[in-house]
Amino acid sequence: MKIGKLFLVSISSGIITQDELKWITRNQLSFSRCEQATAIRLGHLLDSGELNLGCRI
């Protein structure tokens, strides 16, 4: 999985799963600067309520 694809799927559905968040935290040390910015953006979207923590069916 790539952070860019995860970002797009999360934005389109409005949901990010706990497994996806775990994947981000496990792999954050290997992210490029651009990938780090994307992960931070996901965090801001969660904080602002634009993304919800949940599951996709």
Q: For residue range 23-32, list pLDDT tens digits in order.
A: 999 999 999 9
Dist. CA 54–CA 32, nearest whole Å: 27
Q: For residue range 6-47, list pLDDT tens digits in order.
A: 999 999 999 999 999 999 999 999 999 999 999 999 999 999
The pLDDT of residue 57 is 74
β-pair partners for 14: none
Please check whether residue 3 is in contact with residue 38, taking contact to mean a CB–CB distance below 8 angstroms. yes
Does pLDDT of 1 surpass 70? no
The pLDDT of residue 56 is 77
The pLDDT of residue 8 is 96
pTM: 0.88
